[in-house]
Structure 1
């Protein structure tokens, strides 16, 4: 059994990420409609909902991978509605994706080195000697230690189990020094052992950060998350602790019986 959340929404900090009237329409169809969301600094906040609820669309809107039709997105109090996704990431709002994205033929250490090059402006400085990358080794090993992969640094990423690849992806995401980490279904496709491993990693890396995650595994959500927002048909159905939302009759009807649905 996973341990319970260490805090609650009431004990977290000020709002660090917010959506106001967030709407996305596709040829008249509203995939997301008037979503008002507040994510508090230092919290682990989950978006849940049945198939087609709009969870991943909300992620795409918040991280500016997709433009909103209407509404505002506020990050640290600033409207980022016209900011590009790369700049949003540099400002500390960083996301992962449902599909694991590692370089399978590079070593685990080299995967993290590649990720570290961008915030240190080394990615485009091709004229620098290869030895320059060695300066990244200490930080890379710190990140691998944080996700319990230090002993696998010299393996190629393709040799890792699926769960360990997701842990490596978490390390490469942390290399961008996120203040807010958005995780899109981090447990998707994992077995029981890997789920517990990655859930524990998320709990560890959330210390000093804010996490917003889309997740279908309700056991993980109930034990890991401070606040849960339930989406259905592109709208917020309920919000609160797991105990609160799981007792809501509308939530039970819309979601609790369809835990295996995908977005």
Structure 2
């Protein structure tokens, strides 16, 4: 594990937690995958969930996004207990997640991809009888979102023709179209080259100003650069939490990573 200098940030603007979990636990038969995890995701901050392989990161991510039901514990979104809610209802409350696999409509333009995502917040998603021209009023907002992720000049290109990094940027635009209160990103930088990593990291940092953002990430340099809060997992439990300067100097964290990941991760 290579320790990078943490970015300097002020906590003066710290805000309330939008998404919180207490005592989060999940068993798969006799296997205890996650045990008694507490986590708080705050508005306007990037919260990174890290840990060696098999630490339970993906399970926590799927518990928070309601793809798994906790064996024990409680999850609260904007003051509402969502522990027993189904994922669709939670999504309507403003929780939006990404997946590791790119999810865009390859044969459609970037602009149309974002317009489709804009249908739900504009109450058009179930009105299938409307003509295609009804999406025209969504195009100005779609262009704003494409501009925000640096893709406005490619609006008419097919999504399939984009580089991998730009496809992920398009996915960010489509998630922003849903006006998330909480945005959860599952390894958003996986498989990217150096230039794409830098661009995406900058984009994530910008997007987090307007929502609460959690990302599962292996790239520790990026975590050092943009992570405001870090939760480190090991064997399904919280090993350490705090800013990067705090967790990167914790002897338990160093030991957990030693031999698990090299300096590039």
1:100 offset after TM fit, Å? 1.1
* 2:6/2:245 contact within 8 Å kept: no
Q: Tell me the TM-score normalised to structure 2 length.
A: 0.94
Aligned position for 2:135: 133
Residue in structure 1 matching 2:222, options 210, 214, 220: 220
Residue in structure 2 matching 1:44, options 46, 65, 74: 46
1:3 offset after TM fit, Å? 11
1:5-64 CA-partner distances (Å, limit 9, x unpaired): 574556320121111110110011011111011222221110000111111111111111
Further displaced range: 79-88 or 139-148:
79-88
Structure 1 residues 64 and 199 mapped into 2: Cα distance closer, same or farther (>3 Å)?
same
Helix, strand or coil for the counterpart of 2:209?
Answer: coil
* 1:9/1:40 contact within 8 Å kept: no
Aligned position for 1:27: 29
Structure 1 residues 65 and 205 mapped into 2: Cα distance closer, same or farther (>3 Å)?
same
What are the within-5 Å matches in structure 2 for residues 184-223 of structure 1?
A: 184-223=186-225
- Tell me the number of residue pairs that the alignment of Structure 1 and Structure 2 aligns: 260
Q: Tell me the TM-score normalised to structure 1 length.
A: 0.94
Helix, strand or coil for the counterpart of 2:239?
Answer: strand
Q: For structure 1, list consecutive stretches of 5 or more residues without a partner in the other structure.
A: none
Aligned position for 2:57: 55
Residue in structure 2 matching 1:77, options 76, 79, 97: 79
Structure 1 residues 3 and 94 mapped into 2: Cα distance closer, same or farther (>3 Å)?
farther
Aligned position for 1:124: 126
Name the CA distance, whole Å, in 2 between partners of 1:29 and 1:18. 24
1:76 offset after TM fit, Å? 1.2
Name the CA distance, whole Å, in 2 between partners of 1:173 and 1:5. 27
* 2:45/2:209 contact within 8 Å kept: no
Name the CA distance, whole Å, in 2 between partners of 1:57 and 1:10. 32
The root-mean-square deviation of aligned C-alpha atoms, in Å, is: 1.8
Further displaced range: 2-11 or 223-232:
2-11
Further displaced range: 137-146 or 198-207:
198-207
* 1:90/1:176 contact within 8 Å kept: no
Residue 239 (structure 1) aligned with residue 241 (structure 2):
yes
1:178-237 CA-partner distances (Å, limit 9, x unpaired): 011111101000000000010111111111211111110001000101110000111000
Residue in structure 2 matching 1:174, options 149, 160, 176: 176
Structure 1 residues 6 and 107 mapped into 2: Cα distance closer, same or farther (>3 Å)?
farther
Name the CA distance, whole Å, in 2 between partners of 1:9 and 1:60. 29
Structure 1 residues 180 and 60 mapped into 2: Cα distance closer, same or farther (>3 Å)?
same
Residue 152 (structure 1) aligned with residue 154 (structure 2):
yes
Name the CA distance, whole Å, in 1 between partners of 2:58 and 2:10. 24
